[in-house]
Amino acid sequence: MAETEFSAAEFGAAEFGVVEFRASDVRIQRWARSLTRAGQVIVKDGRIALLTSDGREIASAPVTAVSAGKPWFLASDSAIARIDGVRYRLTMGQRNRRPGGAAPVRRFLEVLRRAAGRRI
Contact 17, 44 (CB under 8 A): yes
CATH number at residue 51: 2.30.29.30
Within a domain: 31: yes
Residue 4 has pLDDT above 50, yes or no: no
Within a domain: 72: yes
Within a domain: 1: no
**Mean pLDDT within 25-30:** 94
| Total number of domains in the chain | 1
Within a domain: 27: yes
Closest among 95, 14, 18, 3 to 50, alpha carbons compared:
3
Confidence (pLDDT) at 8: 41
**Mean pLDDT within 9-15:** 42
Per-residue confidence band for 26, with pLDDT thresholds at 50, 70 and 90: very high
Within a domain: 3: no
Within a domain: 108: yes
Instruction: Tell me which residue range forms the domain holding 27.
Output: 8-116
Q: How many helices (H) and strands (E) does the chain have?
A: 2, 7
pLDDT tens, position by position, 37-79: 999 999 998 899 999 999 999 999 999 999 999 998 988 889 9
